[in-house]
Chains A and B, each alone.
Chain A
Amino acid sequence: MNINATLIGQAIAFLIFIGFCMKYVWPPIIEALDERKKKIADGLAAAERGRHEQELAEKRAQQVIHEAKEQANEIISQAQRRGNEIVDESKDNARVEGDRILTSAKAEIAQEANRAKDELRSQVGAVAIAGAAKIISREIDDKAHTDLLDELVGQI
């Protein structure tokens, strides 16, 4: 237990170890630790950002869904309105068409009737004359009576 040169030897060994530790041990390890710290902080920040973005996206999605729903409703109501319009239109058309058909039918009927009257008119004379001729064939002068009848027919 004497103080001797070991004192100096220990001091030198100590200095060498400190130097080695300072140059080759401490810097790489502490650098890696700092890098990891930074990585973790970055990761946390990124996660936070991601969460924020997700929230925004969700909000946006909801908005889009909402808009889509509104649009769909609008389209449906439009379609309904349009349908009603079409129905009304066709009803009107049908009525107009019916009226037209009715009118044309009436006109045709009137025409037909006129034609029948004309025909009838043209034939009534002959029939009446034939009848009359048969009834009064003996004493009636054809010519005088035809004039009379024609006059009669003209009055119809």
Chain B
Amino acid sequence: MASESTITTSGYIKHHLQNLTYGQHEDGSWGFAESAKEATEMGFWAINVDTMLLSVVLGGLMMWFFRGVAKTISAGVPTGTQNFAEMIIEFINDTVRGSFSGGKNDLVAPLALTIFVWIFLMNLMDLVPVDFIPLAVAHGASALFGVDPHHVFFKVVPSTDPNATMGMALVVFGLMLFYSFKIKGTGGFLKELSFEPFGKWALPINLVLETVTLLAKPFSLGLRLFGNMYAGEMVFILIATMYSAGLVLGSVAGLLQVGWAIFHILIITLQAFIFMVLTIVYIDMAHQHH
């Protein structure tokens, strides 16, 4: 909190929940939104720069790390970094082998690896104390570009942005559709949508039920991750607001933050794992003939 006198608790929370959005203003000029209202008014063709930047940086980091291992990997005795990477790969491979029964598929395992590690890294940003990066960015921006730091938003955890989680869920949905059409054929897939679960005399009901089931998959996938991370981040922010409430509450907040952070290690790993396993299961279901 740059200047406590001017920022209320609700303002602080709202500030933290606002993405750094770049888009077209009402008056037609392009630029960063300076308030939540402006961001909303920009409509669909705006972009959350913080989400994109952090997720791409984290994803790049992940790819750089694994590519480095892949380049130097040997079948001999593994050492340090290679050991660590192999541990993750083995874990993913075992999970895929356990959940995926659709025969040979070169995509599922790398997809699972990307999902797990990327989401884990994005979630991991949750453990960085809530003010560090936003304050650094805000003051950096005000020093570099002379903008008011109070109007620079920066959301550190990409997975608390529904755009990020739903974007990934949509890709998974696309892959599900792709494999459904590829494996079952258009006819097979449509038959599955129309003639199950109640047989061909209840075709409209079947169609409605199956379509809802199908569409529920990406939504549950993306919103589950978003909801968990958003709630977790919210708790961190609420704890952070206690720091300005005196020494006693501040110390309690410190304890709470450590406790919640430790518990959160479980949640971020679990959410990454759930997203990965559900993706594998959905793609496996797309491979199943009925």
Q: Using a CB–CB distance below 8 Å, which chain A residues touch chain B?
A: 1-11, 13-15, 17-18, 20-22, 24-26, 28-30, 32-33, 35-36, 39
Contact = CB atoms under 8 A, between A and B. Distances in A.
B51 A18 contact: no
Closest 4 pairs between A and B when the two form their complex, measured CB to CB: A10-B167, A6-B163, A35-B75, A22-B110
Task: Name A's interface SS.
Answer: helix
B171 A5 contact: no
Contacts of B86: 29, 33
A116 to B, nearest CB: 112
Nearest to B63: A20
A4 B163 contact: yes
Nearest to B19: A1
Contact of A10 (B39, B69, B168): B168
B171 A14 contact: yes
A8 B70 contact: no
Given A17-B63, A30-B109, A32-B74, A6 B85 contact: no
B206 interface: no
Given A13-B52, A14-B167, A4 B23 contact: yes
A30 B73 CA distance: 10
B27 interface: no
Given A11-B170, A35-B75, A18 B162 contact: no
Contacts of B167: 6-11, 13-14
Contact of A28 (B51, B70, B111): B70
B148 interface: no
Contacts of B85: 29
Given A10-B52, A14-B171, A5 B110 contact: no
B51 A10 contact: yes
A34 B18 CA distance: 47
Given A2-B46, A11-B170, A35-B75, A26 B113 contact: yes
27 contacts: A3-B163, A4-B23, A4-B45, A4-B46, A4-B47, A6-B46, A6-B48, A9-B163, A10-B55, A10-B164, A10-B166, A11-B171, A13-B55, A17-B62, A18-B107, A20-B63, A25-B113, A26-B109, A26-B110, A28-B73, A29-B70, A29-B89, A30-B109, A32-B75, A33-B90, A35-B75, A36-B76
